[in-house]
Amino acid sequence: MQVTSGVSAKWVLILFLLFFILFGLKTLLEEYLEQKRGR
């Protein structure tokens, strides 16, 4: 039981980090495209 909960918690953390990184990259890409279009 403890091992399973630990593994699931780790996977939740990994998924959360991946989602955060993807969201950050998407925001940066949108800002970069906007700056390029502005010039």
CA pair distance 36, 30, nearest whole angstrom: 10
Q: Where are the domains of the chain?
A: 1-39
The closest of 21, 12, 3 to 29, measured between CA atoms, is 21
For residue 32, pLDDT beyond 60: yes
Opening angle at CA 23, ends 21 and 24, nearest 5: 65
pTM for this structure? 0.61
The pLDDT of 24-37, averaged and rounded, is 95
- The mean pLDDT value for 6-33 works out to 95
